[in-house]
Amino acid sequence: MEEWILKRLDEIKSRFEEIEVLMTKKEIVSNHSEMKKISKEYSKLKTINELWNQYNKILKDTNNTKELLKSDDEEISIMAKEELSDLNSSLEKVYSELNKELIPKDATDEADAIIEIRAGTGGDEAAIFGNDLLRMYTRYSENNKWKIKILSSSYNEFGGIKEIILEISGEGTFSKLKHESGVHRVQRIPKTESQGRIHTSTATVAVLPKSEDIDIEIKEDDIRTDVFHAGGAGGQNVNKVATAIRLTHIPTTIVVTCQNERSQLQNKLQAMEILKSKLWDLELQKQKSEISEARKSQVGSGERSEKIRTYNFPQGRVTDHRLKLTTHNLTEFMDGLIDEIIDPLMKDEQAKKLISQKN
């Protein structure tokens, strides 16, 4: 095992033992916020500490078994050889799990995700492509048994998406979906194209962490609230009762609109959730811009203006430009089977974080 890993594991063990003592002190137990904070850290370190203890036990058993290989009793020697093979396999498995647990976690890794899909260049075809991306993420969420909720939506006259905001909740949502932030490009023949020419259109995807248990102060004086009539399909309530809400955060000029619910209060609550997530994300981006470019590339989500992926329908392929990775399963990919690209992106992120920690 590398020296830097041993050093890190020793530090974790010491901190774990320190927290065990802290959790018995009255001043900590009586302080709810402090106890919650320490308990969370304890839970994270406990897994690593248990794996480290398990690793050392297997390593000790391995060394003892190696001694039995020298036995003059052939039967004992053969049994030791078989056991050694199993122990080496177990040691490798625990070592791999330890490496994974040592990867630094972003503050947002356990958060739910808020996804914004907007039509980019390409007119009606870009809006239609936005619908395709919505369907892709909906299917992906269903496959992962995640809950999906539309917070706000705006369509063009042909039913294409101008903009839609979703909340996706469940285990691992943001940690997986954050890699979808960026410009998605589609190349295909639009249904409206009479001469069969291939067009290139784009849609932008922004993935924000839903702010939970994060101290974000939003002053009432900093928000301008506008109430207006909702537009688009929505039954008798639409355009008769002013229920749609537009919040403008004056210091940052961030504007959030919600109109999907039937009451002003529900729309305002949802708009505030989106605003908090945008402000949290803005703060995270500021923090990332203050650190080195190398570290930024390892923990950040990347520039959202950057083209990340191309969907080429005539050739039936999807290319992710960050890893220069191509799959020829476009139909299945658009049906929500996108782990073929998401998994390598997550592994690449983990590898960069390990290198950063090592250095």
- The tens digit of pLDDT for each residue in 274-285 reads 888 888 878 777
**What is the spatial distance between Cα 268 and Cα 144, in angstroms, rounded to a whole number?**
29
Residue written as token pair 């023949």: 189
* DSSP helix/strand/coil, 188: strand
pLDDT at 119: 93
Stretches where the chain sits below pLDDT 70 are 1-2, 4, 104-105, 107, 192, 194, 211-216, 230-241, 287-306, 354-359
pLDDT at 144: 94
* DSSP helix/strand/coil, 218: coil
Each residue's pLDDT tens digit, 79-92: 888 899 899 999 98
Cβ neighbours of 64 (radius 10 Å): 12
Q: Give backbone dihedrals phi and psi of 149, rounded to 5 degrees, phi first.
A: -140, 130
Task: Write the DSSP symbol of residue 323.
Answer: T
Pairing of strands 161-169, 113-119: antiparallel
Each residue's pLDDT tens digit, 312-345: 999 999 999 999 999 999 999 999 999 999 999 9
Contact status, residue 306 vs residue 300, Cβ threshold 8 Å: no
**What is the spatial distance between Cα 295 and Cα 322, in angstroms, rounded to a whole number?**
17
Q: Give backbone dihedrals phi and psi of 2, rounded to 5 degrees, phi first.
A: -65, 150
Per-residue b or e along 132-150, where b marks 16 or more CB atoms closer than 10 Å to that residue's CB: bbbebbbebbeebebebee
Contact status, residue 43 vs residue 15, Cβ threshold 8 Å: no
Closest by Cα among 355, 354, 358, 359 to 104: 354
pLDDT at 1: 67
pLDDT at 356: 65
Q: Using alpha carbons, list the distances in angstroms from residue 209 to 94, 109, 110, 172.
A: 31, 8, 9, 11
Domains of the chain (ranges plus CATH)?
Answer: 3-102 (1.20.58), 113-215+302-358 (3.30.70.1660), 220-287 (3.30.160.20)
Cβ neighbours of 47 (radius 10 Å): 12
Contact status, residue 208 vs residue 116, Cβ threshold 8 Å: yes
pLDDT at 238: 45
The one-letter amino acid code at 97 reads E
Element (H, E) at 79: helix 74-102
Long-range Cβ contacts of 141-148 (<8 Å, 24+ apart): 141/168, 141/170, 141/336, 142/336, 143/336, 143/337, 144/170, 144/172, 144/173, 144/176, 145/170, 146/170, 146/173
Task: Write the DSSP symbol of residue 221.
Answer: G
Closest by Cα among 31, 98, 90 to 65: 90
Could you tell me the pTM of the whole model?
A: 0.63
